Chain A
């Protein structure tokens, strides 16, 4: 089956710093989502981005489907950005495959 990898696994940032999270997938996908899991466990939708680039405030994402990767950019990080970021892809069978996540800690 399709494999989803994320890097880095862990990241510690000073407040105000920028970062790039990467998601690689091993096969063609129908869509791709980025989620943020907050400390209470809720998965928050960040982007639905099967291809192209989207921006939402300090966050933006780019997916290059032909090269099988997606990037999530966080600019001017804040402590509330802490948590785990998941990339999830969906194949033609409607099953979502999650990556292992990147654990982000933003320190004041």
Chain B
């Protein structure tokens, strides 16, 4: 069955530090997508990125980058030069049976000024 593990429950960094959020997944599918969502203190979930299992190239979007490694079943998320506004809970997620999204337990990131 699909499973997503985010082993880091909470991370605290000082502004401008780099931080990596880990995501490890299990799936029996040969092709699949992986997602990252952000939940800021206001509570709503915001879609960040979607990656296809065929594409293992790193993705970079501004200060955000994602490292997808099929060999280790990992899809890690790095924030470079973190800012206070990055403080949020971040979820990694994996679709299951077309209509279910299996979320990890989330990593709470606190960026201190």
Decide whether A and B are members of one complex.
Answer: no
Residue numbers of A with Cβ under 8 A of B are none
Residue numbers of B with Cβ under 8 A of A are none
